[in-house]
Structure 1
Amino acid sequence: MEGKIFIAGVMILCVVVGHAQEGYYSETIPAVHMEEKMTKLHFFLHDILSGQNPAVVQIAKANLPQNNSFASFGTLSATNDAMRVGVEPTSKLIGRAKGLYVLASQGQDDEMALVMYMDFGFTTGKFNGSSFVVCSRNPVMETQRELAVF
């Protein structure tokens, strides 16, 4: 008797679930390809490493004998950099770049590079509320560089 009740319960459950899902199905709509659009941004990143109110602080470093400076392999730093319209520290603040840097260079023969994980968020102007993410290797000794933006 218990087996019949169990089977009847399962059948009722299947019918109820089947009717409840009727609203979930929809017609497939083909993707619409939009025209590519380019936006050029121009701002200055104030990456302050020292002083009374630094924007970058070291949060960890590898436990290796040669790791005695801020710029040692494996050093992890947190950042909260000001994004400004000009070079001057008093120029208008338009957002903040927040994230992490990891020093990824192992020695003299290795190119000095950081690996950056940063969110660039705008707080004023046309792009207020918008952001983009940089997750890339940053060869800091190069005067011109390209980094991956998402």
Structure 2
Amino acid sequence: MANSKTLLCLVFFTTFLFYTFVNANYYQNISPSYLGFKQEKLTHIHFFLHDIVTGPKPTVVISSESPLNGKSESPLPFGSIVVLEDPLTVGPELNSNQIGKAQGFYTTVSQEAVLELELVMGMTFAFTEGKYNGSTLSVLGRNTIGAPIREMPIIGGTGEFRFARGFIQAKTHSVDYHTGDAHVEYNVYVFHYPSMLESQEVFDDGSRFMTEPLIGKI
């Protein structure tokens, strides 16, 4: 009887110890090369973004009007929220070769929007042509529209831009103050790890490299 109790206690203790290791070691440091990433790369991308308010198919819409609408001289009073899907082209003309689109939103964050229109922008550049077809870059930051050059940070990316970090510079190319249509030049500077893998297999077996080292610890 005593031996049975001892064996039962040993089984429970071993099981408890195993689950303790599993729960305590839910992460592990790995090398970028494990995911097929080699040397970090700095890339410069140049394009034009077209913010079209007028016409039969506008690329921006006001999804939430400000409570100050009608009480302010600004076209976008404090608190306005705008949703966008703007084409990205190689040249400044709207009919230039399109390489992708910007999808996201911006909101007016300056109370004195008449004197200085300040926005917070959150958008993703989704590339549809060339080497970066299918890859994206995400941007989130403050955009002071009246400044000659505005700078916003890159907070991440997908595809060829995994682990992306860097910044963008936006410069107004032209604007129609009667309609609100604007064409903006963008220069993107991004550090990223181009993937050397042809498949997603390595990303789908995360449990393997998490559990194998645990077995040796018990």
TM-score, length basis structure 2 = 0.54
Structure with the larger RCO, 1 or 2 (CA within 8 Å, 6+ apart): 2
Runs of 5+ unmatched residues, structure 2: 1-7, 156-218
**2:59 is the alignment partner of 1:55:** yes
Runs of 5+ unmatched residues, structure 1: 1-7
CA-based RMSD: 3.4
Identity of aligned residues (%): 36
Question: Residue 121 of structure 1: which of 119, 126, 136 is its match?
Answer: 126
**2:59 is the alignment partner of 1:86:** no
**How far is 1:144 from its partner?**
1.1
Aligned pairs for 1:1-150 within 5 A: 36-64=40-68, 66-67=71-72, 70-107=75-112, 111-150=116-155
Residue aligning to 1:4: none
**How far is 1:111 from its partner?**
2.9
Instruction: Compare the two structures and name the one with the higher helix fraction.
Output: 2
Q: Tell me the distance in 1 between the aligned counterparts of 2:77 and 2:26.
A: 56
Q: What is the DSSP-based 3-state SS (H/G/I as helix, E as strand, rest coil) of the residue aligned with 1:59?
A: strand
Distance 1:94 1:29, change over 3 A: closer
Amino acid of the structure 2 residue aligned with 1:117: G
Residue aligning to 2:209: none
TM-score, length basis structure 1 = 0.75
**How far is 1:14 from its partner?**
6.5
**What is the total number of aligned residue pairs between the two structures?**
141
**How far is 1:62 from its partner?**
2.5
Of 88-97 and 10-19, deviating more is 10-19
Amino acid of the structure 2 residue aligned with 1:144: I
Q: Tell me the distance in 2 between the aligned counterparts of 1:71 and 1:25.
A: 47
**How far is 1:87 from its partner?**
1.2
Amino acid of the structure 1 residue aligned with 2:60: V
